[in-house]
A and B are shown apart, each in its own frame.
Chain A
């Protein structure tokens, strides 16, 4: 099964707190939270700011630009559909918005081209008609 197809057991089960993240991804927006008390950002949605503890977080749309903090190449994953997608790169990306890091797949990146520090940008992939996933691709 290719990256374009999402089996139903991989489709997220959104709740009131995180629905905006998944629906944003379907619309082509990376939705993260910004704290108006400390000015820092966070992924994934939470009630409190994980940096300062304030309850003053609100969704904003991130630029989608970031830098690879680290990565791995998944060469073994026994769970469908990932077993048919290997090898693929997964990266932790520090977004340009301070404070926010996201772990995401880089489906189009040649594993041999992955490196720490590479500039990347978000891309979006439907999970179903309402929800989507955030991936990243090289911006270099």
Chain B
């Protein structure tokens, strides 16, 4: 085992609606705030990871930020990209290849593209002649929301999961957003509110779907040795792993199991923890079903029992597994991809800096990013102590 690795800086841009800021500006604003949070300078950043849109994205970002990194990671697997980045950064710092790495993301998804991501051709489905296997799904009229809906439908069929149980995930997440002054939607909602919102793709209603926002996020990782000299209590990366099962939903195979069943156990084993040790779960919540299926795959609850578990209020602050205390993608912010926000929120929680959203005494947090159409899963375990 090599050097211990810590998250030492986190930054969020303005948000959730920033029509006057470009994606590059959102990245730069959150990066600047993460540097300030860490007490570091631009010259301290030796490595950069990012995922975005277009060729050599991360190289353009480096130039824009005034960086000349000797370590780069451009893994681009949708919303889970940033958990892959954190895992790779952890490994590179642990091994001694590099000391200090920034992971950044920013997008003006809402201001530039409106709410087209899920059903308007902005999400790789329903767009114009998409590449790869989407070529076969586009002419059917399939949507991004439809892919998740199809998987949720199968889970309901196999395990008796109900629309009410899925809705309860949105309800609890909204309770968290209610405490977060920066969240996009803060008014409390009920299960009936979710079920009476319009169906977008059966069985998913509008309020089963994440928000579309603008926003940028950045985190900075470095060695424990450097972290000890900085302002904040270090938050340790204890383990990480990734997994992939498919790209297009027709190739998913068993739609009730994701690659989190692979990445979760590997990450937990490296971190030396069990699911019962986890104090905070930062779940990718593109849709309510994303939370349900990854809760099961990560082993927080046996397969098929996610529905009763969430309906029991387990995701609340003070519940069995406080989940997305910042209000998640379902209510807080989701600028196209959200994986980096999970790492940011987990760090705030483990520092004890989360204010009204704080999970008291949190020592272990798990971030699970999901990309594509449940296609890729990245799991990262953070803790207040090293492995």
Q: B-contacting residues of A (Cβ < 8 Å)? A: 6, 9-10, 12-13, 18, 43-44, 50, 69-79, 82, 85-86, 88, 90, 92, 101-105, 111, 116, 127, 133
Asked if B306 is an interface residue, CB under 8 A from chain A, the answer is no
Complex contacts, B188 vs chain A, CB 8 Å: none
Q: Is the CB of B154 within 8 A of A76?
A: no
The stretch of B7-15, B76-84, B120-128, B308-316 that contacts the partner chain: B120-128
Q: When A and B form their complex, which 8 residue pairs have the shortest distance between CB atoms, in order from nearest? A: A78-B120, A103-B250, A82-B141, A72-B149, A70-B154, A73-B202, A79-B121, A105-B140
Contacts of A43 in B (CB 8 A): 136, 250
B249 at the interface (CB under 8 A from A): yes
A74 to chain B, nearest CB (A): 5
A-B CB contact pairs (8 Å), 14 listed: A9-B128, A70-B151, A70-B153, A71-B150, A76-B143, A77-B126, A79-B126, A82-B126, A90-B141, A90-B142, A102-B250, A103-B142, A116-B157, A133-B139
In this complex, what residue of B is CB-closest to A72? B149
- 18 more A-B contacts (CB under 8 A) besides A76-B200, A78-B119? A13-B129, A13-B135, A18-B135, A43-B250, A70-B157, A70-B255, A72-B146, A73-B202, A74-B146, A76-B201, A78-B126, A92-B249, A92-B250, A103-B136, A103-B248, A103-B250, A116-B157, A133-B140
B133 lies within 8 A of chain A by Cβ: yes
B141 A77 Cβ-Cβ under 8 A: yes
Contacting pair B150 A127 (CB below 8 A) = no
Measured between beta carbons, the chain B residues less than 8 angstroms from A73 are: 199, 201-202
Q: Nearest-CB distance from B216 to chain A (Å)?
A: 26
Tell me the bound Cα distance from A44 to B142 in angstroms. 16
Once A92-B249, A133-B139 are accepted as A-B contacts, the answer to whether A71 and B153 lie under 8 Å apart by CB is: yes
B137 at interface (Cβ–Cβ under 8 A)?
yes
| Interface SS, B side | mixed
CA distance A79 to B124 in the complex (A): 12
Q: Looking at B133, B201, B203, B248, which has the most chain A CB atoms within 10 Å of its CB? A: B201
Check B198 for interface membership: any CB of A closer than 8 A: yes
Name the CB-closest residue of A to B146: A72
Contact with A along B225-246 (1 / 0, CB 8 A): 0000000000000000000000
Report whether B202 and A10 are in contact in the complex, using a CB–CB cutoff of 8 Å. Answer: no
B177 within 8 A of A: no
Whether A44 and B146, one on each chain, are in contact in the complex, defined by CB atoms closer than 8 angstroms, is no
Please state if B154 and A116 are interface contacts (CB–CB under 8 Å). yes
A75-B138 in contact given A82-B126, A116-B157 (Cβ < 8 Å) = no
Q: Which of A9, A69, A70, A88 contacts B141 (CB 8 A)?
A: A88
In angstroms, Cα B140 to Cα A127, docked, is 12
B101 in the interface, Cβ–Cβ < 8 Å? Answer: no
A28 to B264, CA, bound (A): 45
Number of A-B contacts (CB under 8 A): 101
Closest Cβ of chain A to B155, distance in Å, is 9
Minimum CB–CB distance for B140 against chain A, Å: 4
B116 interface hit (Cβ, 8 Å): yes
C-alpha spacing A69/B154, complex, angstroms: 7
Q: In whole angstroms, what is the CA distance A18 to B133 when docked? A: 11
Residue of B nearest to A135 (CB): B140
Q: When the two chains form their complex, are residues A72 and B116 in contact, meaning their CB atoms are under 8 A apart? A: no
Nearest to A112 among chain B residues (CB) is: B202
Report the minimal beta-carbon distance from B114 to chain A, rounded to whole angstroms. Answer: 9
> Taking CB as reference atom, which chain A residue is nearest B248?
A103
B145 at the interface (CB under 8 A from A): yes
Closest B residue to A93 by CB, please name it: B250
Return chain B residues, CB-CB under 8 Å to A103: 136-137, 140, 142, 248-250
Nearest chain A residue, comparing its CB with the CB of B145: A76
Residues in chain B near residue A86, CB distance under 8 A: 141
Q: Which of B175-207 contact A (CB under 8 A)?
A: 198-203
Once A78-B119, A79-B126, A82-B141 are accepted as A-B contacts, the answer to whether A101 and B146 lie under 8 Å apart by CB is no
Question: A92: which of B120, B128, B150, B199 is its contact (CB, 8 Å)?
Answer: B150
A75 in contact with B153 given A82-B126, A90-B141, A103-B248 (CB within 8 Å) = no
Distance (Å) between the CB of A67 and the closest chain B CB?
13
Min CB gap A3→B, angstroms = 9
Contacts of B203 in A (CB 8 A): 72
Instruction: Report the Cα distance A103→B373, complex, angstroms.
Output: 14
| CB proximity to A under 8 Å, residues B93-152 | 116, 119-121, 126-129, 133, 135-143, 145-146, 149-151
Q: Are A127 and B139 in contact (CB under 8 A)?
A: yes
Please report the C-alpha to C-alpha distance between residue A43 and residue B251 in the assembled complex, in whole angstroms. 9
Complex Cα–Cα for A127 and B136 (A):
13
